């Protein structure tokens, strides 16, 4: 009876473990399908709400935990099923994709028996083989490269000759270009402050103090500034720019000042432009309008930005070398209406939520129709974009303006939705300017995407230590951001640039820019 009861208990536990594994697998599958549905909806219909990007991040984090729980419960169910008659749970997983062809393969052949395991015969003939591929990573390996320069003496004239010393980015430095590129990319691309990097290197047995790493960063920034200047020239030569800024705390005496990081993005791909995209960062201690005026002193094209008053001086007719044309961001205008029509947020707030504004909801619906048209014409030539806008968007914009003015006349100036309307009506020419120029985008999202990494990094490094530190960060952010826009691995590019920049003449320095570097790199790979 005891044995029977024990067996029954084990079977019950195994069955319960199997059910837990099945439920965990189902939960993970549901989470994965939800994530895929939301991503497909975003691709097909665009961002339906301002919280969509945050929702996707939450779904991915939830999927991560559920997948881990499902695997753990599956292993527990297998262990419980070994001692019982209960079948082990087999979890359905998505089809595994093959590993990339460019990865090197290491072939390990399992030793075969010399004789037949059944009859002992030595007459074995190979019929084929089964290959199982396992992805593996080699832990980071540190090595010391010894560069030997032999000295020679001439027996005739007793002259001593020796090859020149190799170039080091850091005078009398001992860090190679790959190490320097890794430190730079970890700090500015992965938001890992130098003190955390130093601690990690110490755990690997390498003593690289914080002060040493800081010297490396300063020397690399000085060596890379010529490339930053070339990127600045390329960005400022554009016909149209995206501009934006974000707060960056800068250390001051006993406190921090709210400094600013300014970004200017050149990206002609939405209207079929062939010039490569690039991003330029600048830093300042405050948000004075003097800074964008200085940054854009030679620019005379179209500036896509928000309605920041500091740009007003750039729009003056008597500005030299010429006035800048203002194109405002419809995403900013839509956000003001959306905040008054966000049904999901109101549901979460419950009784304390403000009532949903039907006027704001209607405004969001009308603006979304413009975004639908823009998604259809993204990437085609400017003339074709302009033609579609005149045929389809112009009527929607005219109807929207008439509708806003009609409802605004009935509202108090203190009504929240009236303030959102006034934001657009006071600047209507700037919002409607995209109807007359196919190069103009409907939003300023290109600049906001470039600032996203910096906004995430603030949570890790908290503040810039000084004005030169903020400027140095702007230089490296420009380089890394430009490399990403051109689909170039920033760390590999920085390592190669740091190796070659000293031997590259000033007249050929443009060959090291990310878009030119990528062409050379692809050509070398194809030749190999």
What secondary structure, in 3-state letters, does 469-503 show?
HHHHHHHHHHHHHHHHHCCCCHHHHHHHHHHHHHH
Q: Can you give the pLDDT of all 528 residues of the chain as single tens digits?
A: 888 888 888 888 777 777 777 777 777 777 777 767 766 666 655 554 444 555 555 555 556 666 666 666 666 666 667 666 656 656 565 566 777 888 888 888 888 888 888 888 888 888 888 888 888 878 788 888 888 889 989 888 889 988 887 777 776 678 888 999 999 999 999 988 888 899 999 998 889 888 888 888 888 888 899 999 999 999 999 999 999 998 888 877 767 788 889 999 999 999 988 999 999 999 998 888 899 999 999 899 999 998 888 898 899 888 888 889 999 999 999 988 988 877 555 555 555 555 677 899 899 999 999 999 999 999 999 999 999 999 999 999 999 999 999 999 988 888 889 999 999 999 999 999 999 999 999 999 999 999 988 888 787 777 777 788 888 889 999 999 999 999 999 999 999 999 888 888 889 999 999 999 999 888 887 887
Would you say 239 and 302 are in contact if contact means Cβ atoms under 8 Å apart?
yes
pLDDT reported for residue 374: 92
Residues 6 or more apart in contact with residue 445 via CB below 8 angstroms = 329, 331
């Amino acid at each position: 009876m005891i044995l029977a009861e024990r067996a029954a208990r084990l079977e019950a536990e195994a069955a319960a473990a199997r059910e837990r594994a099945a439920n965990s697998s189902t939960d993970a599958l549901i989470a994965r399908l939800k994530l895929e549905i939301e991503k497909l909806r975003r691709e097909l219909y665009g961002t339906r709400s301002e919280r969509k990007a945050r929702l996707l991040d939450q779904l991915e984090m939830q999927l991560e935990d559920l997948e881990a729980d499902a695997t753990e419960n599956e292993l527990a169910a297998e262990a419980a099923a070994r001692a019982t008659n209960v079948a082990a749970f087999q979890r359905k997983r998505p089809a595994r994709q093959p590993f990339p062809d460019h990865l090197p393969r290491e072939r390990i052949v399992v030793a075969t028996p010399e004789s037949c395991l059944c009859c002992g015969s030595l007459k074995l003939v190979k019929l084929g083989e089964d290959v199982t591929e396992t992805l593996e990573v080699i832990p980071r390996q540190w090595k010391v490269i010894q560069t030997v320069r032999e000295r020679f003496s001439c027996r005739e004239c007793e002259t001593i000759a020796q090859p020149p010393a190799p170039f080091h980015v850091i005078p009398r430095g001992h860090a190679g270009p790959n190490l320097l590129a890794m430190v730079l990319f970890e700090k500015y691309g992965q938001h890992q402050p130098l003190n955390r990097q130093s601690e990690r290197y110490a755990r690997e047995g390498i003593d690289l103090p914080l002060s040493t790493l800081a010297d490396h960063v300063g020397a690399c920034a000085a060596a890379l500034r010529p490339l930053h200047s070339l990127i600045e020239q390329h960005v400022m030569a554009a016909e149209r720019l995206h501009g934006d800024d974000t707060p960056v705390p800068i250390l001051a005496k006993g406190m921090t000042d709210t400094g600013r990081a300014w970004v200017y993005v050149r990206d002609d791909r939405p209207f079929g432009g062939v010039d490569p995209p690039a991003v330029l960062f600048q830093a300042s201690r405050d948000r004075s309008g003097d800074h964008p005026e200085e940054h854009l002193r030679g620019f005379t094209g179209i500036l896509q930005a928000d309605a920041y008053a500091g740009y007003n001086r750039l729009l003056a007719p008597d500005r030299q070398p010429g006035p800048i044309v203002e194109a405002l961001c419809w995403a900013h205008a839509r956000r003001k209406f959306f905040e008054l029509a966000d049904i999901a947020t109101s549901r979460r707030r419950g009784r304390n939520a403000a009532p949903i504004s039907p006027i704001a909801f209607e405004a969001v619906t009308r603006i979304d129709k413009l975004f639908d048209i823009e998604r259809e014409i993204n990437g085609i030539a400017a003339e074709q974009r302009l033609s579609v806008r005149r045929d389809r968007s112009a009527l929607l914009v005219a109807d929207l303006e008439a509708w806003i003015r009609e409802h605004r006349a009935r509202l108090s100036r203190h009504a929240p939705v009236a303030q959102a309307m006034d934001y657009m009506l006071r600047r209507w020419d700037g919002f409607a300017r995209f109807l007359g120029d196919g190069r103009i985008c409907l939003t300023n999202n290109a600049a906001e995407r470039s600032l996203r990494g910096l906004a995430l990094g603030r949570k890790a490094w908290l503040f810039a230590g000084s004005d030169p530190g903020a400027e140095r960060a702007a230089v490296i952010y420009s380089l890394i951001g430009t490399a990403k826009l051109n689909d170039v691995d920033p760390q590999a590019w920085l390592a190669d640039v740091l190796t070659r920049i000293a031997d590259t003449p000033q007249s050929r320095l443009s060959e090291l820019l990310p878009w030119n570097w990528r062409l050379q790199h692809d050509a070398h790979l194809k030749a190999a």
